[in-house]
Amino acid sequence: MKNKKINGEKGFALVVAILLLVVMSIMGSTLVAIVSNDFRENDRRDYYQQALYAAETGVTAAKLDLSNLAKTGMPKAATSTWTSWPSWCSAERFKKLDKTQIYLVKNLASEVKINSEIISADTNEDKRYQRYSYYYFITYTPDQLGNTKLIKPKIGSKAGSSGSNISESSQYNSGGSSTSQYYSIFSCGKGEEDTVVAIDVVVSLTK
């Protein structure tokens, strides 16, 4: 009887050990999966943030571009519609636009790689910057139907200053009058794993 009891206890201990091993294996696998998902999510957030920075760089470049164009007069929209945007920065990314009613004021000839604008002595860092780029195009601010053919002017007052001023808000000084025109900048940033962030900004240009 004693031997049977000992053998039974050994068998029970073996079953418990196997069950514990299975449970610990499942817990370990679950923990590894959770950690891996966290790492992937962190990477995705980082890719998104860097692509957003690239898109914002495009907005800054577009403002400078628009300001330079204004030195010779208020920039005008093309008389024919435009449909030759890059596939990753197409009109479909912007809900405000009707892709069949886009009249271009200015755009980039091709995407700009971030590494071409950032000087880095770190080779690995430079290689990473090569994966990020931006592209932008400028139109008159679209109407409620997404049409960018007609300019949106606003009459304001000014203090008689000369030159061109570009801003994201409309502020005017007293004295005299001028017409400010509204333009929209549509910019996309592209990064690792084909992450794309699209942003648009309305700016007013006063001559």
DSSP the chain: -HHHHHHHHHHHHHHHHHHHHHHHHHHHHHHHHHHHHHHHHHHHHHHHHHHHHHHHHHHHHHHHHHHHHGGGS-----SS------GGG-GGG-TT--TTS--EEEE-SS-EEGGGT---S-HHHHHHHTT-EEEEEEEEPP-TTS--SS-EEEEE---S--S-EEESS----SSS-EEEEEEEEEEEEE-GGG-EEEEEEEEEEE-
Per-residue model confidence as pLDDT tens for the chain (207 residues)? 545 555 555 566 777 777 777 777 777 777 777 766 655 777 788 889 999 999 999 999 999 999 999 988 889 999 999 999 999 999 999 999 999 999 999 999 999 998 877 666 567 776 777 889 999 999 999 999 999 999 876 655 444 333 445 555 433 333 344 678 999 999 999 998 889 999 999 998 886
* C-alpha distance from residue 174 to each of 62, 171, 181 (Å): 29, 10, 18
What pLDDT is stored for residue 3 in this prediction? 53
Position 175 scores a pLDDT of: 38
Q: How many domains does one find in the chain?
A: 1
Domain coverage including residue 181:
2-206
Q: What is residue 14's predicted lDDT score, i.e. its pLDDT?
A: 72
